[in-house]
Each structure stands twice: as structure tokens, then as C-alpha cells.
Amino acid sequence: MTYAQIIAELDKKIYQPIYFLMGEEPYYIDKIADHVAQNVLSPADQSFNQTVVYGKDLATDVIVTTCKRFPMMASHQVVIVKEAQDLRDIDKLSFYVEKPLASTVLVVCYKYKSLDKRTRLYKLLQKSGILFESKKLYENQVPKWIEGYLAEKGLQADMKSMVMLTEFLGNDLAKIANELDKLAITMPPGQTLISPELIERNIGISKDFNTFELNSALANHDLLKANRIAKYFGDNEREHPLPLTIATLFGFFSKVLVFHYLPNNREDKAVASALRVSPFFVKEYRVAARNYPKAKAVEVISILREYDLKSKGLGNTSATTADLLREMVFKIMH
């Protein structure tokens, strides 16, 4: 079942005996666990019939014993196991999963990894409850996620705003949701569009000086803009560490190189899928590919490797971060 299906079923008061929530993305795991904790039992029933435990603090046998108790003056009891990935003997849960108690709602939060599909526990969970895997989004999927999250609040954002947030926050959905909630609170009455100016004012991400704009300047061979951004990054090294800037540029030019090996007559949708980027950026990759032929793209990647080593002190004794960045931009564009 998907996250939306699980929540919809819970809202209809249809409860499964076991929710085993696993995967690299903790956001949906926490959301489902919190929903169960807040909605299955009334506040009065929670004090007697809701138990929250942590995997590192106890053995699986104790969890099984707790799950086998009957609720006290309520239709259900809720048992939530947080940080279940720290359980040393989680396979013993199989003894309970095989014959779960209908009056117990067990929620197991197994974060940052997934169960081995060959295990007995995994196979039993497929039969006896909800086995939900929460996968990390690729960064090219994050703008679409932001769009959906904002739509639920009656808000929207332009593509540049969504890319700025993705670049600054990565694919950590909990962090992104937190920042979006802050932006929603600070928006003027009647305004529904989150703009780059609003993000700059409230989160501190510059709308003009960021790696997204540096990628664009380099792709378009805009030497003046690239140098301005390089100077800004050099003057604000703490907010824009050179290794992180290089990593972002490496990702961009690696995709430019991949673009060169795609078949001819490439439609935007096919290119976006192959590069794992939003279709919004395909035009920029086409421009970059024209300005950086295959051999030059390979050379740029070599330059980035060279300056990555220098930024870490190898082969560099005196140049500052700002000096290295200016040199690197010059070599890339000449």
C-alpha cells in the first residue's frame, strides 16, 4: 500500500494488526506512526492502551509480550516500536507476526534500511499486515514532491523556487517540509505563490548566488555572471564550501557528458528521464552540450577532480578557496 492509501484506511478506522514501516526515507515512516499515535485511540484511552518503546532499549521478546496483552476498556491497544532497526533479535518478531492479536495495532519503525526479502519475517509480514517501504526520492523528483506538498496547503511555487529549495536542502523530506511550513506562516495574507525573494528573505538562500545559478552561468558561457557568483562564493566560504560546489558541478557536467551519448532526435521527456532531471532543465542541458562538446566535457570533469584535490590541500600550499574557485571557473570556460 502507498502512504496515501494507508492514511485513507486509517481515517476510515480500518486498522491492520501490524504496520511494518521500513526504508531509507524516514519522513513517511514518522508520518504514519504519528497518525496512528494521534488518531487510533482517544486521549483518554491512550494513557492505558498506548505503548511507545525504542528498539535499542529492550529485546523483541518484551515487544511480543506487550503485543499479546488485551486492551483495557477499549477496542484496541497501540504498540509503537521506534528505531526498530536497533533491535538485535528482530527475527523473533516472526512468532507474533504468525498469529497477531486482532485487538493490537503494532507499528514497527524500521528506518534507513529494509528487511531482507528472503527472511521468514518478511514473508510473514506480507501475509499478516502492512509492509510499507519508504524510498528516498531522487533529487529530480523533489520539486514535484514540493509542488504536491504545497498544493495540499493551497500554495504553489515557481520552478526556480523549488530548485533553490532542493539544492539547499537536498532530498531530506522532513527538512523540506519544515522549511515549507515556515514559509507558509510568513506569507502575506492573500499571497499563494512562494517566490525566490520570499525564500531568500526567510530561509537565507540567495536567489542570485547559488550553485543552480552557477550551473546556468557555466552552461550558457556567461563569464561575467560566473565570475560574480565565484566571487560571492569565495567571500562566503562557510555557506558555500568549495568541495560541495565542486560536487554539484561534477553532477551537472557528468549529465552533460551523458547527454552526448543519448540517441539523436531526443524528446525532452526522454532526456529528462535519462538524466534524472526535471524536464524544466532539459533546455539548459542542450545549451551546455552545444557549449561543451564531448571532449571539453571530459576535460571539465578532469578539472573538477583536480580542484577537488586542491580544495583538500593536495597540491596546494597557498591558494585560498576564493583563488581556487576563480581559477577553476576560468579553466572550465576557456
Which DSSP string do the residues of 205-262 spell out, in sequence order?
--SSSSHHHHHHHHHTT-HHHHHHHHHHHHHTTTTS-HHHHHHHHHHHHHHHHHHHTS
Q: Cα(174)–Cα(152) distance, rounded to whole angstroms?
A: 16
- For the CA atoms of 202, 203, 205, 208, the dihedral, rounded to the nearest 10 degrees, stands at -20
- Residues (pLDDT < 50) of the chain are none
Contacts of 145 (CB under 8 A, 6+ apart): 137, 173, 176
Per-residue cell: 141: 523528483
Instruction: Check if 3-133 and 211-333 are the same fold.
Output: no
- How is domain 211-333 classified at the CATH fold level? Zinc Finger, Delta Prime; domain 3 (1.20.272)
Residue 308 contacts residue 269 (beta carbons within 8 Å): no
Q: How many helices (H) and strands (E) does the chain have?
A: 17, 7
How many CA atoms lie less than 13 Å away from 125 in the CB half-sphere? Answer: 27
The DSSP H or E segment spanning 150 is: helix 142-152
Helix, strand, coil share of the chain (percent; to 5):
60, 10, 30
Residue ranges per structural domain of the chain: 3-133, 139-202, 211-333
Kind of pairing, strands 77-82 and 50-54?
parallel
Pick the CATH number of 3-133 from 3.40.50.300, 3.30.9.10, 3.30.70.260, 3.30.565.10: 3.40.50.300
Length of the chain: 334
What pLDDT is stored for residue 265 in this prediction? Answer: 66
Q: Give the domain 139-202 fold.
A: Helicase, Ruva Protein; domain 3 (1.10.8)
CA distance 22 to 131: 8
pLDDT at residue 317 in the model: 63
Exposure string over 49-77, b if 16+ CB within 10 A, otherwise e: bbbebebeeeebeebbebbeeebeebebb
Provide the Cα torsion 164, 166, 167, 168; round to 10°: 80
Task: Name every residue whose Cβ is closer than 8 Å to that of residue 245 and which is 6 or more positions away in sequence.
Answer: 211, 214, 233, 325
Q: Can you give the pLDDT at residue 239?
A: 79
Global pTM reads: 0.73
